[in-house]
Amino acid sequence: MAEVKLFNKWDYDDVEVSDVALSDYIAVKEKKHHMYLPHTAGRYQVKRFRKTQCPIVERLTNSLMRKGRNNGKKLMALRIVKHAFEIIHLLTDKNPLQVVVDAIINAGPREDSTRVGSAGTSRRQAVDVSPLRRVNQAIYLLTTGAREASFRNIKTVAECLANELINASKESSNSYAIKKKDEIERVAKSNR
């Protein structure tokens, strides 16, 4: 059987998830997560933790359909992801899938603060972040960063998404997601 490649172009085989904690939550290694298009129409919200089975590129795609006017426009999101992957490949010569995985590993905050309140007094308490939440938050921050960068700007969303992913995979502070993650971790550190 022919090798399944994303967009018939990008190979799944050489993608490594370098963070052990997130390896179960970034669905990219197993055979069933390999597909030509990140559009499965799967029911990933039915059960808790079902979304960990959703291929990681599809989760990225779904997260792009935000802000009212883009609701449900998955084909538009698909096109954006496809273009972004092309741009990533042109800029870095790496497999875009690997760049995405690295970006998600780097962009998820490892420590967060929650509100602990009793009888009218509330203070922040630092807590560790579960691996699933790290992945969820990383995807959210990456797409939000791309969306904000392209808003009222000549750059397309695809270009901004590509930049965001490349910067996040390098842990460069030019990335919105990395900035946010650092800020979240800094606040958590001060509330230990």
Residue with tokens 């979304």: 51
Give the per-residue pLDDT at 2.
65
Give the per-residue pLDDT at 90.
87
Please report, as a single letter, which amino acid is at residue 114.
T
Give the per-residue pLDDT at 108.
81
CA distance 117 to 115: 6
8-state DSSP, 13: T
pLDDT tens for the chain, 192 residues: list them: 667 777 777 777 777 777 777 777 777 777 777 777 777 777 877 888 778 788 788 888 888 887 778 788 888 888 888 888 888 888 888 888 888 888 888 888 888 887 777 767 777 888 888 888 888 888 888 888 888 888 888 888 888 888 888 888 887 778 888 888 888 888 888 887
Angstrom CA distances, 99 to 88, 122, 170, stand at: 8, 40, 9
Q: What share of the chain is helix, strand, coil (3-state, %, to 5)?
A: 50, 10, 40
Residues 6+ apart with CB under 8 A from 174: 163, 167
List strand residue ranges (DSSP E) for the chain, in order. 5-6, 10-11, 111-118, 121-128
Q: State the burial class of residue 187 (Cβ atoms within 10 Å of its Cβ: 0-12, 13-18, 19+).
A: middle
Q: The pTM is what?
A: 0.83
